Structure 1
Amino acid sequence: MKYADLALAQAKVLIELMKQGKPFLPVLKPGDPSTIANLPYNPTTGKAYRGGNRVMLYLVGMTNGYEDNRWLTYKQAQSVGAQVKKGAKSVPLRYVMFPNGQEAEQATVVQPWMDKPRTFFFNVFNAEDIDGLPPPPQRPETTPAQRIERCEALLAASGAVIVHGASQPHYAPKADKIGLPYPERFVSPDAYYAVALHELAHWSGHETRLARDLTGAFGSESYAKEEMIAETASHLMGVELGIGHDPSQHAAYIHHWMKIAGEDPSFLYTAAAAAEKVCDFVGLERFSYEPMLPPEPEVEVSDVAIPALEDAAKDIAKVAARAVVPAAEMVM
């Protein structure tokens, strides 16, 4: 299946799940320890997949019931003495490189003088469809004190102005300040930091930082898109910091996210790439496993054109529900 076709199929899956009342990205389970270290990663490099590729593997893993979060190419499996099972189906991923050598998810704004970026595609298989791999390694657990220390260090290093005593969490772009209730009003320290990191994700979008559109009123499409980016970013930070994620606020945006997924399936992956930039910007320390192979190019790629998603998106736009949400003044 082509990348564009799979992206479209995954958008349909998300829409149907959201219609059932499930949160955006149903893999986001509040406080579930089993998901804390559940980042799709390549065992030959030890590194987690990023951006849209991460979302793609999350959803394929969920729909196929995979419990192993390791994904690697056919040749990588062979290189470690393993073999892909007969009849196993691969998942297409993409890798975008700019002429200056930057990967798309790590690149800043594309300059006018730059040539068109090149997109490569490669296929990976889940470890459950590969014979001969050793059991997956366990990620070390952290103590509550260690989690608090890391969260506090990340917030402090950002330089964000945080004002406590607010009635509800928010980020005010004009004042460039984060407002939070006092920590004792949250059910746990992890819950407090999860909310703080969500607002930090919004903070990163200020015009002096990553310059995202923060002008949309509550209920607008631009507001909903920003929420999708902030939710994905806070989830990534929650996974890396071991505090989990709470999707309980998704209900306010669910109809808009269904509409966005229906009309533009590619935005799910655009939002994921933007969320990775948020994590990089705030200096999130990434966990990596011990690689099974010495450092080398991570993927076997071929240069092909990106299939257009726009026409295909029209076929599922009717699936997305449309709703009117009350207006508000702050980015939550």
Structure 2
Amino acid sequence: MKKSFDIYEMITNLIVEKLEAGVIPWQMPWKSANGMPKNLVYQKPYRGFNFWFLLTVADKYQSPFFLTFRQVKQLGGHVRKGEKGYPVVFWKMLEHEQKDGSLEQVPFLRYYTVFNLNQTEGVDETKIPESDAHDHEFDPIADAESLVEFWSDCPEIRTNESHAYYSPGLDYVGMPNPRTFFKDEQYYSTLFHELTHATGHKRRLGRHEKLSDHQFGSKDYSQEELVAEMGAAYLCGITGLENATIDNSAAYIKSWITKFKEDKKILLIAASQAQKAVDYILENQFQPSQAAEAALVDYQAEAS
């Protein structure tokens, strides 16, 4: 019997190829008024752990800009009394002399403290760039819309948030306004990521119940991020959006898979869990779209 087309295998192979070839850095695919967290003086966005950590801080203070205590003073301002700073971590390579006299480069974790702009007063306003939200005419994509609309136990989706997230306690998804995304396809890729998270809720697949450590940056947290992005990549493939989103998905996965020293087995484990998540969404469509029906037929053919 001829093997049917496997969308999951195709997307997984595509991502692995991107990882092996080297992928472009991950880009946040929307620009709200807050924007990406960055240093006010150097205007460079933070990367890695610092990006994710400061993204929530920027949301709290409604400003994307951060400064060190010294930078605040240099710009004529001061940190407000009682405000506490936030750590920015980085690796510094130190030379260590071995017993045989050779020098070895040893990574040493360091950190410095930054403050959000809105924790300060008196900073020279001419040094603060405008931070307007991106705005474009959003054109909904039918197959992607249908997949979400017809998911029978889809969580509530709240728009006009400053960033994308899933709230497991309240079981809802928060999304920035679709108009703030650079491309329509990126909106759906981000939405699919958060909806894949939602499949792990205890009243759906119960995946989150099996994770012991939900702290940001933990192995369990990183594994769940891989599952969510793999799920998003699959859903983009099913709805025909993968060409416009695959590079960013691969780059996002790259940023988390480093937690596991780029172990491809971890990616395959995440892929398996992501497929279960996507199958759940497809199997719970009360009026399946043509794209969803086609993917489900292929899946059932594989299982038979």
The TM-score normalised by the length of structure 1 is 0.43
What is the TM-score when the length of structure 2 is the normalising length? 0.47
More helix, by proportion: 2
